[in-house]
Amino acid sequence: MEIQEWAGLLGHWSSGEGPMYRLLAESLQRLILRGEIPAGTQLPAERHFAQLLAVSRTTVQSAYDLLRKEEWVESRTGSGTWVRPVSGARSWQRGDTFFGSLKRSSMFDPLLRREQSLVDLSMPGSGDPKGIPYNAYSLPEHEIARLLEQQGYAPYGLPALRQAIANRYTQEGLPTTEDQILVTSGAQQAISLVASLYLQRGDNVLIENPTFVGAIDAFRAMGSRLVPVPIEGARLRVELLPGLVKAHIPQLIYVTPTCQNPTGVVYSEDDRRELVRVAAEHRVPLLEDNTRFDLVLKGPDPSFLAAYAEDAPVITVGSMSKLFWAGLRVGWLRAPQPVIARLARLKIVADLGTSLIPQAIAVRLFDHMDAIKARRREELLESLALMTDLMQEHLPTWMWSPPAGGPFLWVQLPWPDAQEFAQMALRHGTLVTPGITMSVDGSHTSYLRLPYFLDRELLHEGVTRLSEAWAAFTSLAGTERQLAGVVV
């Protein structure tokens, strides 16, 4: 296991109470118990582990000593510290080692562990149900009665919702019929269904770098190899695509062309055309993740990729979460009808069909789409202005480019390893996402993804804590390391 992977595996180990060495030992013990650190694994060297976790070497030494005392690990002369086999009395609690490879699992740890004291700057606010009348989130009795008359299983989705989605695409310049729509339980399921349809173990996927963590997990869960296509200078390097396609023969291309996650980039029309041309020429399915399509900050909405060529193998992902509310869990796929039919068979295996009541509510929400879209744009611009002021005041050495859309800042630190700083931020009660988490190839180590679409008080508190953590971190760097080329 690479040293950088250990921080992601440990997650929020230092957010509890008690001595640091005990928190570290207990976290490693839990990972060993669940099988996420298998027997026979060599623990990192004390000095390197201490640097990664932004703690003293004594902290790591004491944690290892405690684990040795309790017989979780053993020392081997000249070769470090190794994990011992877990006894049968403990093994029943183990999980599958597969979960340790999922990047997204650690991002959702606060939800699982209910860590209320943390300021969560790993994810943005996602819609606001107070933005429209509450009755839009309820159903009148006659609609409930009509739903109850049905069997309850609708693998393709509620017909009224499929038609509403199709109408929306048509209004926005992409003619679409109901049979080109499959409703899913959120965008994550949509991506996973496409991965299941097109990918087998060992297949290659061309994917933006950096990109959406959920997509990385979905493709790697299928055993795929991810081939990065870099995002540089506020654009995808589409000119590299023909060579990458010929060299790697991908079975899928994945992009988020509008309000790219995490950079906030919006692809230009020329880059969109070239992307579709390459996919069409080589008949490679192109998965267009448009979950943040409605969050462009200025100017008109761009065109959907599928609008550039009717016969191109384009599959489009959409969602209610980013514009309305994440808790709604209603997403969809738009694709040619034969593709939708195959995806629906996989959907049946997954869950027989998305719950009908959220779908019926989603139909009502479509009536508010334009008003909420305008409201979101105003809110995003106001939040971005506030975040910009806060960052310039408290963290002036950090660098970023204003996003064209979406809820994130893609921030570069004046330090080569943001993962180390994330550990210090955690000890100051703030959760952040290091750029390496969003990376396909272990790059972007000096970056953080920071949301700015949050409550004003939360932004103030979060940036203040980050500033305090940065001061502590650079002080530590000044005494234990050389902060080469950086004036703080």
pLDDT digits (tens, 9 = 90+) for 464-475: 999 999 999 988
Cα–Cα dist 294/371, whole Å: 11
Q: What is the pLDDT of residue 130?
A: 63
Please, which pLDDT band fits residue 163 given cuts at 50, 70 and 90?
Answer: very high
- Between 31 and 177, the more confident residue is 177
Please, which pLDDT band fits residue 185 given cuts at 50, 70 and 90?
Answer: very high
Q: Can you say how many angstroms the Cα of residue 271 is from the centroid of all Cα atoms in its chain? A: 24
Task: Give me the long-range contacts of 164-170 (CB less than 8 A, separation at least 24).
Answer: 164/362, 164/363, 164/366, 165/318, 165/332, 165/334, 165/366, 166/334, 168/366, 168/369, 169/304, 169/334
Q: What is the pLDDT of residue 128?
A: 61
Q: Is the peptide bond before 210 cis (omega within 30 degrees of 0)?
A: yes
- Between 398 and 99, the more confident residue is 398
- Which 3 state secondary structure label does DSSP give 96? coil
| pLDDT at 479 > cutoff 60 | no
- Between 105 and 456, the more confident residue is 456
Q: Which two tokens stand for residue 217?
A: 């997990």
Cα–Cα dist 371/373, whole Å: 5
Q: What is the mean pLDDT of the chain?
A: 87
Tens-digit pLDDT profile for residues 409-428: 999 999 888 988 998 998 89
Cα–Cα dist 367/135, whole Å: 12
Please, which pLDDT band fits residue 459 given cuts at 50, 70 and 90?
Answer: very high
The strand ranges marked E within 115-190 are 119-121, 181-184
For tokens 């995002």, what's the residue? 231
Tens-digit pLDDT profile for residues 364-415: 999 888 888 888 899 999 999 999 999 999 999 999 999 999 999 999 999 8
Q: Rounded to the nearest 5°, which phi and psi values hold at 288?
A: -100, 105
Q: What is the pLDDT of residue 303?
A: 93
Instruction: List the Cα angle 435/438/439 in 5-degree steps.
Output: 90
Contact 162, 178 (CB under 8 A): yes
Cα–Cα dist 35/51, whole Å: 25
